[in-house]
Amino acid sequence: MELKLKTPLSLEETQKLRVKDTVYISGTIYTARDSAHKRMVEEGAPMDLEGAVIFHAGPIIQEEDGQYRMVAVGPTTSTRMNPYEAQILDEGVRAVIGKGGMDQAVSLALKRNGAVFLAAVGGCAALYVQCVRRIKQVFWLDLGVPEAVWELEVENFGPLIVTMDSTGGDLYQEVRQRRER
């Protein structure tokens, strides 16, 4: 199934998503990597996480005369956020975008919160950046450009594939089980 969603995402929307669905997102998404996740857990998020979409990405940004322009934005390996993601999901995040899947604690948090993990294709940073309409603002630039939280306005951001859903469906686990046979 192919779906177009608008942020903030509702619980009803994300609970309907199933593994292998294709999703495109319009509205606001936030980039966040390791350092940003750690700070959100320790200090609280600088934005409202209810219905939010977090993108595990370290964008390439150009600054000119105090204005920021995103050059490329692609997914980073999500397992690095495993120590923090369950807590972030408990704050109301409805979707996490990344690559490679996440651990069992995150799977349980997705289920508990009616949220999903959406896989973005690695190597498509130039494609994904075309969906970014503008950078709305940046938080925690002191962490460095890749680790800062970038608030992005996106249109039809994707394609993204649901690889972990709110029912416990996990495409990564399915693949592992097939390999073991």
Q: Are 38 and 47 in contact (CB under 8 A)?
A: no
pLDDT digits (tens, 9 = 90+) for 6-16: 999 999 999 99
pLDDT attached to residue 50 = 97
Nearest to 120 by CA among 174, 54, 45: 54
pLDDT attached to residue 121 = 85
pLDDT attached to residue 126 = 80
Distances in Å between the alpha carbon of 133 and those of 25, 28, 105, 136, 153?
Answer: 12, 10, 34, 9, 6
**How far, in Å, CA of 78 to CA of 173, rounded?**
15
Domain range for 117:
2-180
β partners of residue 54:
30, 96
Q: Nearest 5°: CA angle at 32, between 129 and 57?
A: 40
Number of structural domains the chain divides into: 1
Q: What is the DSSP letter of 139?
A: E
Within the chain, which residues score under 50 in pLDDT? none
Examine the residue annotation and report whether 56 is marked as an active-site residue of this protein: no
- Selecting among 21, 28, 31, 37, the annotated active-site residue is 37
Q: What CATH number does the domain containing 131 carry?
A: 3.20.130.10
The first and second tokens of residue 35, run together, are 């350092």
pLDDT attached to residue 81 = 96
pLDDT attached to residue 154 = 98
The first and second tokens of residue 95, run together, are 């979707």
